[in-house]
Amino acid sequence: MAFDYKIENDIAVITFDDGKVNAVGFTLIEQINNALDDAQQNAKAVVLHGGEGKFCGGFDLSVMKSGDADKQHALVQAGAELIVRLYGYPLPVIAAAEGHSIAMGAILLMASDLRIGKDADTKYGLNETAIGMVLPPFGMELAKARLANTSQTEALLFSRIFEGKEAVKAGFIDAAVAQEAVLPTAMSYAEKLKMLPRDAFATSKLKLRGDTIEKMQA
């Protein structure tokens, strides 16, 4: 896993790029949490970037298909805790998703405050129903809070995968731009959002999202 963390002009840029689909495993979760720990002390905004042409394809299948129930549960639990942390994180979190964002990848997007995606040929969505699974409660509650009401049946029951402006309309991303503009656009928004008074932002976020966070943790 090629993982990079740096702070530029008070913006913490977290880049995770394994050269494949950026599957979420124990190591990546730990790396992101460590970066968030540092950013909370030393930055004013966070950008999550999946690297060139990628974002996240979901949980690590080597674990999820291993047959080791304890390990599977531990990974989903660790992922859930990360998502809850991101959703209530005291700094603005901007996602730069240049590529496919499926399952846990889509959940990472929904946990971010502002999501910049690609305008074409890139898939955003929750495929759990289509592969015979049920979205975990933390993901379901987050989806009900972040996705458009008119798109929830398609997204959560029919496993529809969205692209471009349709992904914006559904609520998986907030803007769809050319691939080369994804990261610069995310950074531009981060420059603006970092100026918000930190305490007011953090308190308002928890007031806005507190009920959903409680349901995600239940």
pLDDT tens column, 110-163? 999 999 999 999 999 999 999 998 999 999 999 999 999 999 999 999 999 999
Q: Which residue has the higher pLDDT, 6 or 2?
A: 6
Reduced to 3 states (helix: H, G, I; strand: E, B; else coil), residue 114 is strand
Global pTM?
Answer: 0.95
Alpha-carbon distance of 7 to 93, in angstroms, equals 14
The total number of residues written for the chain in this structure: 218
Alpha-carbon distance of 77 to 82, in angstroms, equals 9
pLDDT at 1 over 80: no
pLDDT at 10 over 80: yes
Alpha-carbon distance of 162 to 64, in angstroms, equals 24
pLDDT bucket at 96, cuts 50 / 70 / 90: very high
Cβ–Cβ < 8 Å for 22, 58: no
Residue % of the chain over a pLDDT of 90: 89
Q: What is the mean pLDDT of residues 44-66?
A: 91
Which are the contacts of 11, defined by CB distance < 8 A and separation ≥ 6?
Answer: 43, 44, 45, 46, 47, 187, 190, 191, 194
Q: Where are the alpha helices (DSSP H) in the chain?
A: 26-42, 61-64, 69-87, 104-111, 137-146, 152, 164-170, 179-193, 198-217
Reduced to 3 states (helix: H, G, I; strand: E, B; else coil), residue 85 is helix
Cβ–Cβ < 8 Å for 155, 143: yes
